[in-house]
Structure 1
Amino acid sequence: MYNGRTDPVEHVSHINQRMAMHSKNETLMCKVFLSNLGPVAIRWFDSLRESSIDSFKELTRTFGSRFITCNWVPRPLDSLLSMAMRKGETLKMYSDRYCKIFNEIDGDFDDVVIRTFKVGLPTEHDLRKSLTKKPVRSMRQFMDRIDEYKRVEEDQQ
Structure 2
Amino acid sequence: MVISDRSPERIVTPFSQRILDDPLPKHYQNLNIGEYSGTTDPEDHLYKFESVALLQQFFDGVECQMFLTTLGGAAQRWFKKLSENSIRRFKDFHKVFLHHFSSNRKYHKTPWSLFSIKQEPKESIRAYIKRFNQVVIDVPNATTEILVSAYSQGLNDNDFFKNLIRNPPINFDLLIERATEFIKVEEAQVARKKENVVPIPTPTNDRSTTPVHPPWGPRADPPPHRQPELIPQAV
TM-score range, shorter chain: 0.7 to 0.9
Equivalent position of 2:20 in the other structure? none
Letter of the structure 1 residue corresponding to residue 64 of structure 2:
C
Cα 1:44–1:156 shift into 2, 3 Å? farther
**Partners of 2:119 and 2:156 within 8 A in 1:** yes
Equivalent position of 1:44 in the other structure? 78
Deviation at 1:105, TM superposition (A): 1.3
What is the DSSP-based 3-state SS (H/G/I as helix, E as strand, rest coil) of the residue aligned with 2:116? coil
What is the rounded CA distance, in whole Å, between the counterparts of 1:54 and 1:129 in structure 2?
57
Equivalent position of 1:101 in the other structure? 135
**Partners of 2:111 and 2:142 within 8 A in 1:** no
What is the rounded CA distance, in whole Å, between the counterparts of 1:70 and 1:116 in structure 2?
29
For structure 1, which segment, 11-20 or 125-134, has the greater mean C-alpha deviation from structure 2 after superposition? 11-20
**Partners of 1:85 and 1:94 within 8 A in 2:** yes
Determine if the alignment matches structure 1 residue 88 to structure 2 residue 122.
yes
Aligned residues: 152
What is the rounded CA distance, in whole Å, between the counterparts of 1:95 and 1:80 in structure 2?
12
What is the DSSP-based 3-state SS (H/G/I as helix, E as strand, rest coil) of the residue aligned with 1:37? coil
Determine if the alignment matches structure 1 residue 62 to structure 2 residue 99.
no
Cα 1:39–1:154 shift into 2, 3 Å? farther
Determine if the alignment matches structure 1 residue 113 to structure 2 residue 147.
yes
Sequence identity (%)? 23
| Correspondence for 2:59 among 6, 22, 36 | 22
Q: Taking structure 1 as the reference length, what is the TM-score of the superposition?
A: 0.78
What is the rounded CA distance, in whole Å, between the counterparts of 2:133 and 2:124 in structure 1?
14
Cα 1:120–1:59 shift into 2, 3 Å? closer
What is the DSSP-based 3-state SS (H/G/I as helix, E as strand, rest coil) of the residue aligned with 1:61? helix
What is the rounded CA distance, in whole Å, between the counterparts of 2:66 and 2:138 in structure 1?
29
**Partners of 1:8 and 1:68 within 8 A in 2:** yes
Deviation at 1:96, TM superposition (A): 1.0
What is the rounded CA distance, in whole Å, between the counterparts of 1:78 and 1:49 in structure 2?
40
Aligned CA-pair RMSD: 2.6
Equivalent position of 2:106 in the other structure? 72
What is the rounded CA distance, in whole Å, between the counterparts of 1:33 and 1:43 in structure 2?
14
Letter of the structure 1 residue corresponding to residue 188 of structure 2:
D
| Correspondence for 1:149 among 160, 182, 186 | 182
Letter of the structure 1 residue corresponding to residue 68 of structure 2:
L
**Structure 2 segments unaligned to the other structure (5+ residues):** 1-33, 191-235
What is the rounded CA distance, in whole Å, between the counterparts of 1:112 and 1:138 in structure 2?
9
**Larger Rg, first or second structure (1 or 2):** 2
1:76-134 alpha-carbon deviations (Å, 9 max, x no partner): 011111221112211112111111112221325212221221121122x1100111122
Cα 1:43–1:147 shift into 2, 3 Å? farther
| Correspondence for 2:165 among 132, 136, 148 | 132
What is the DSSP-based 3-state SS (H/G/I as helix, E as strand, rest coil) of the residue aligned with 2:115? coil
For structure 1, which segment, 34-43 or 125-134, has the greater mean C-alpha deviation from structure 2 after superposition? 34-43
What is the rounded CA distance, in whole Å, between the counterparts of 1:118 and 1:155 in structure 2?
23
Deviation at 1:6, TM superposition (A): 4.1
Cα 1:95–1:63 shift into 2, 3 Å? same
